Structure formats: structure tokens, C-alpha cells
Amino acid sequence: MNTHAPGHAVAGDQTVVLGLSGALGHDPSAALYIGPRLVAAAEEERFVRDKHARGRMPLESARFCLRFAGVEPRDVRVVAVPFAPIPLTRAARWHYAARHWYAPDRALDALFNGNRRYRRYRERILALLRELGIDPARVEFHPVEHHLAHASSAYHLSGFDGRVAIMGVDGKGEYTTTFFGYGENGRIHRVREFHDPDSLGGFYGALTEYLGFEMLDGEYKVMGMAPYGDPRRYDLSRLLDFRAGRLRVNTRYVNTVGLRRYRDRGRGCYYGPPLVDWLGPPRHGDSADEPYVHYAAAVQQLFEDAVLALMDHYLGDIIRESGRIVFAGGGALNVKLNQRIIARPEVRELFVQPASGDAGTAVGAASFALAARGVRPEPMEHVYLGPAYDTDACRRACAHWGERLHAEQVADIELRVARLLADGHPVAWFQGRMEFGPRALGARSILGCPSVPGIAERINAQIKYRERWRPFCPSMLDRVAPQMLGSEHPAPFMTITFPVCEEWKSRVPEVVHQDGTARAQVVERRHHPRYYALLEELERLTGNGVVLNTSLNRRGEAMVCSPGDALAMFFGSDLQYLALEDLLVTKS
């Protein structure tokens, strides 16, 4: 692995900030700033090979960040975390207690011991610092409220000037679930917050669980299932009240705790028996069948309508003034919602933090701490912030598999891979620094030619082993995007869906979803020249500068990090070709 990055030496006047997430027990990550530059960021799951790394702390990801940047533990001046104590004088704890009257143990705990989770988390962070060789007594410890960390990850990294609307939609942080505010002159201002259990993210997560997927993991599956249903078939409005700027969740049905919970196969769920009495038994299995596809469509519609109504109420004037809005939190990964946001005439530009979920709060906390010390973080133009491995490291990894593989060093690997894709073969593509965030963006990807009939179904069935109705996304040349999408809105991170122009639906049908849209990545040469060259060659061979791109992992696994991970996945699937830096690997 290339452990040092040229130009990252720490000058005496540069602030080194280490951001560490993991406060909520899932998706721990680490991020490192040297001055205004985000030098490294990575999720813990990639190193420990445990998707979402539940209950873990970001030990290996922090070690990577320090090692890659050549930063010694003594160089770290600030440690920022996305979790902070909430005083009793704030409305949050009182709201939580009042809304959980039916679970008095939780209500009383919020009032009399409301920062218990923070204190426990702080002790775990201090123990982690000692394990990293960082003396807690020698660094500034900066706790940042969870939703301020989300807000900072979007606002401070957007590169937007002037007054900018900020929106955060998540399950919950300490107590806050939904954030509306604005940024100006480097400072974040609150306009309105909502508190647990009144949570749009929690509502969506509870219905995700009812629809048979794992909460905090399967929400994008609900979003993918929704286009197969009709949202008009079922009226779910009794679950949410979002009229006139209010947000109130019906906790008899969803966001349910304690004795109100429905138990499915002995496990407590985040929805109540009244939901099951109303809609029927929860879904099980992999089929996209009725009535559940209609429920998914109705959930998606209600979520979109609620977010947009609240956005208009609290941020409408700011958006009309500036034309710009930034968005973070797990709800910001809802690409169909984002499509509706940019379709609004008053919205000129939307920046969605590419690691909008809780992994991104390491960057958010670090950038907030940096801005508080008078340093403006650089805009986030790419997410290639993880480890990289050279061809020699890849060759050594191949040696462990002996005669089970053949590894050929290829001078122009991108040209060879483009030819394989055009001939109808899926290819695993492992190049450069690993992506930060949940999307594969051409560093740890499985690729296919989107004009080859059946390539998507083949990858789903034989390589990814996932539900057959799940869609695939396109990566495309920047000059192709306006033709295919009919839009010049920036789309580098696969965070927005766009309607696909009619001509292109027949040209690249394998990356067009049921509703005629595609979640696009627009590729620029400066950020990934090898991936760009592959797209150019594929355009020469097929006429389309577009490739099907999905993450290099199997269902239920974290995206691969190292060459060893890639090879294990290669031999655990029906993949026949793996481009491992300059090596083209095939099975003997």
C-alpha cells in the first residue's frame, strides 16, 4: 500500500484535525484534515470486513488516515467527534420525555440522565486515542452536535459562497432528527430542529423494516422497489403530520419503542401492532410483490412530500434568495427526493454530501472544528480518499492464490477492459484510492456494458447475489451527460437521479430504472484519468461513453478495500476478469 502522500508534510502553522465517528454504534469512520485540506477519510467496515461495523470504533480507519498522511500521533492538535452533550435547558430532552410518556423508563432517563450515551462514547474515544498513541491530555477535544456535523459536512464542503440553505434529515443524533438552517460567512445558523421520535428518517427506516429489509441498510432497496408500485393504491398519511411546518410521527404505528413494539419472529421491531393490523403481515423474501411494492411507492411518496413541504416552510425564502441548498444525513441519500429538489425552479444547485450517512459525520465534525478555528475547509470535489495499492502489492496478493489464477501485466489496462466490456463480459475494476462513502465511483467497481442485453440480470444473479429487481447505475463522460440526462447540473457522486432522454433509453437500457430514470455519476478526467480513458474507449467501441457501474462486493458485504479483498470476492463469484491496477487477472 502507498502509505505516504507527497505534499502532506505538516507545517508548523497548519492545524491537524482528526475526525472520529461511531457514536451511534454503526458506520464508524475517520477523517484527517491538514490545514484546509481533507487528506484522508475511510469507513471502518472496509478494513474489518464487517458491513456497517456495528458496535466498533474507528481504529483501523484512523490508523490508515494517520499513516497515509505521514502524520505522527503527536502532530494531531484537535480531535472532533459528532456527538455532544445536550443541556436540560434545551427543548430536545423535554420533547423526548413528553413524547415517550408510554415508556416512562426512557422519558425519565432523558430528563435525569440525558447525556449518559455521550459520556460512554467519550470514554470509548479517549481509550481509542490512547490505542492510537495520541495523548488525550495533549489534544483539544471538540464534541460537535450530530446534526451540526451533518450540516457542516454539506455546507463547509460545498464550496458555495453567500447565504446557503442547509437541510439535514436523519434517523436521529443525540435527540435531533431533522435540521433546517443556513450557512453564511462560514457559520451555521439553526432555523428549526425536530426531535425524536418525530423523525422522517426513523419513519422511513421503520417502514424499511416492515418491508423486509434491514433498517439503516435497506432504505435504498425500498427506494429501488418503489417504482414498481403505485403510490395511489394506499394512503399512508395517518403515519405523519407535516402540515403548517409541524412534524409529528404517529408512534402507535412507527418509531415505536418498548411494549408498543410489534414482535416478528421473536425480535422487537420499530413499528407497532396497529401497522400490521392495518397493512397485513410484514414482508419476507426477495420478491418485489403485491401489496408491498405499492406500500414502498406510498412510503417514498409520503417521505418526499413531507421533506419538500418542510423545506419550503423553513428554507423557502433562503433558497429563493440564493438558489442553493446543501443536504446531508441518511435521508439525503434518497436520490428520488433529490431529483424533485433540483426540479424546482428556485433551486439552481444542490450539493449532497456523498457520505451523507453517519460515516460522513467524521468529516463533518472535523470540518466544523476547523471552521471554528478560522480555517475554511476546501470544497469536496472527489471522494478518492482511501488507501491505494500499487501493482507490486497487487502482484504479491495474487501470489497467495497460486495456480488458481493468471495475472498478466497490461500496458493500457483501460483499453483492454473496454474491449472485454464491449464483448459482453462483466469486469471487476480495482484502481487508485478507495472511495469514501457508500457509492462505488470507479475505484472499487464491477463494470458492464449497458448496451449488452441481460448484463444487469447476470451481474445480479451470478456476481452480486442480490434481488433481481435492483437497479444499476451509469458512469458517463462529462460531455455525454447533457445529452443523456438533459441536464448540466453537477452529478459527480451518484446522489441524484435524472430522467433519461428517450434516445438513450434504448442505447443503454441496462442502466435505466423502471421509472425511466438513472442515478448518474458524471466523470471528469482530472479526478480519475484512467476511468475516464476507459469510458472514452468504450465510446469508441460502442458509440456510448457510458458504463454500468456497481460496487465491488457481494450482497451483505462491505465494499472491498485491498487487493486481497478483491481477489477473495473474485473467487467467491462468477466473475471471470479482474483489473487489479495494471494486472488483468483471470481464473485458470
Residue burial 2-22, b: 16+ Cβ < 10 Å; e: rest:
eeeeeeeebeeebbbbbbbbb
pLDDT, one tens digit per residue, over 285-332 is 888 899 999 999 999 999 999 999 999 999 999 999 999 999 999 999
User: What cell does 399 get?
Assistant: 501470489
CA–CA distances in Å: residue 214 to residues 210, 220, 221, 472: 9, 10, 10, 20
If DSSP codes are grouped into helix, strand and coil, which group holds residue 393?
helix
Inter-axis angle of helices 292-322 and 200-210, nearest 10: 160
Question: What pLDDT score was predicted for residue 370?
Answer: 98
Question: What pLDDT score was predicted for residue 7?
Answer: 46
Residue burial 526-546, b: 16+ Cβ < 10 Å; e: rest:
ebbebbbbbbbbbbeebebbb
pLDDT, one tens digit per residue, over 362-421 is 999 999 999 999 999 999 999 999 999 999 999 999 999 999 999 999 999 999 999 999
Closest CA to 478 of 491, 460, 467: 491
Residue entry with cell 451518484: 494
Question: How does DSSP classify residue 243?
Answer: G
User: What cell does 172 get?
Assistant: 436521529
Question: What pLDDT score was predicted for residue 416?
Answer: 98
Angle CA(16)–CA(20)–CA(22) in degrees, nearest 5?
Answer: 175
pLDDT, one tens digit per residue, over 100-115 is 999 999 999 999 999 9
Question: What pLDDT score was predicted for residue 287?
Answer: 80
Is-same-fold flag (16-87+104-156+355-372; 391-587)? no
Q: Name the residue ranges covered by the structural domains of the chain.
A: 16-87+104-156+355-372, 200-352, 391-587
Q: How many Cα atoms are found within 13 Å in the side-chain-facing hemisphere of 391?
A: 12
Kind of pairing between the strands at 267-268 and 240-241: unpaired
Angle CA(149)–CA(155)–CA(160) in degrees, nearest 5?
Answer: 170
Whole-angstrom Cα distance, residue 499 to residue 545? 18
pLDDT, one tens digit per residue, over 416-448 is 999 999 999 999 999 999 999 999 999 999 999
Whole-angstrom Cα distance, residue 36 to residue 485? 34
* Residue 558 identity: A
Question: What pLDDT score was predicted for residue 8?
Answer: 59
Non-local CB neighbours of 297 within 8 Å, separated by 6+ positions: 225, 226, 227, 228, 229, 230, 231, 233
* Residue 366 identity: A
| CATH of region 16-87+104-156+355-372 | 3.30.420.40
Q: What is the 3-state secondary structure (H, E, C) of 332-373?
A: HHCHHHHHHHHCCCCCCEEEECCCCCHHHHHHHHHHHHHHHC
Q: How far is CA 250 from the centre of its chain?
A: 27
Closest CA to 117 of 213, 196, 209, 199: 196
User: What cell does 58 get?
Assistant: 474507528
Question: What pLDDT score was predicted for residue 385?
Answer: 98
Q: pLDDT-derived band of residue 12, with 50, 70 and 90 as boundaries?
A: low
Res 10 pLDDT > 90:
no
| Average pLDDT score over residue span 259-263 | 94
Non-local CB neighbours of 104 within 8 Å, separated by 6+ positions: none
Res 4 pLDDT > 50:
no
Question: How does DSSP classify residue 159?
Answer: -
Question: What pLDDT score was predicted for residue 466?
Answer: 83
DSSP code per residue over 447-506 = EE-TTSTTHHHHHIIIII---TT---EEEEETTTHHHHHS--S--SSS--EEEPPHHHHH
Question: How does DSSP classify residue 283?
Answer: P
Q: Quick one: which H or E segment has residue 200?
A: helix 200-210
* Residue 220 identity: Y
In 282-426 the beta strands, taken as DSSP E runs, fall at 324-328, 349-352, 405-409
Angle CA(151)–CA(155)–CA(160) in degrees, nearest 5?
Answer: 165
Question: What pLDDT score was predicted for residue 255?
Answer: 96
Average pLDDT, rounded, for the chain? 96
Question: How does DSSP classify residue 543?
Answer: S
pLDDT, one tens digit per residue, over 13-43 is 789 999 999 989 999 999 999 999 999 999 9
Q: Quick one: which H or E segment has residue 37?
A: strand 37-43
Residues paired with residue 366 on neighbouring β-strands, in sequence order: none
pLDDT, one tens digit per residue, over 226-239 is 999 999 999 999 99
Res 554 pLDDT > 80:
yes
Say whether domain 200-352 belongs to CATH 3.30.420.40.
yes
Res 11 pLDDT > 90:
no
Residue entry with cell 480513458: 533
Give percent of the chain above pLDDT 70: 98
Whole-angstrom Cα distance, residue 313 to residue 45? 38
Question: How does DSSP classify residue 426?
Answer: -
Q: Which CATH superfamily is domain 391-587 in?
A: Carbamoyltransferase, C-terminal domain (3.90.870.20)
Q: How far is CA 180 from the centre of its chain?
A: 20
| Average pLDDT score over residue span 241-248 | 97
Res 1 pLDDT > 90:
no
Whole-angstrom Cα distance, residue 14 to residue 335? 37
Res 3 pLDDT > 70:
no
Whole-angstrom Cα distance, residue 71 to residue 430? 26
Angle CA(44)–CA(550)–CA(289) in degrees, nearest 5?
Answer: 105
Query: Residues 441, 383: contact at Cβ < 8 Å?
Result: yes
Closest CA to 362 of 96, 80, 588: 80
pLDDT, one tens digit per residue, over 494-531 is 999 999 999 999 999 999 999 999 999 999 999 999 99
pLDDT, one tens digit per residue, over 142-189 is 999 999 999 999 999 999 999 999 999 999 999 999 999 999 999 999
pLDDT, one tens digit per residue, over 528-541 is 999 999 999 999 99
Q: pLDDT-derived band of residue 257, with 50, 70 and 90 as boundaries?
A: very high
DSSP code per residue over 243-281 = GGG--EE-TTTBS--GGG--EETTEE-SB-HHHHHHH-S
Whole-angstrom Cα distance, residue 30 to residue 40? 8
Question: Catalytic positions, please?
Answer: 26
User: What cell does 587 get?
Assistant: 481464473
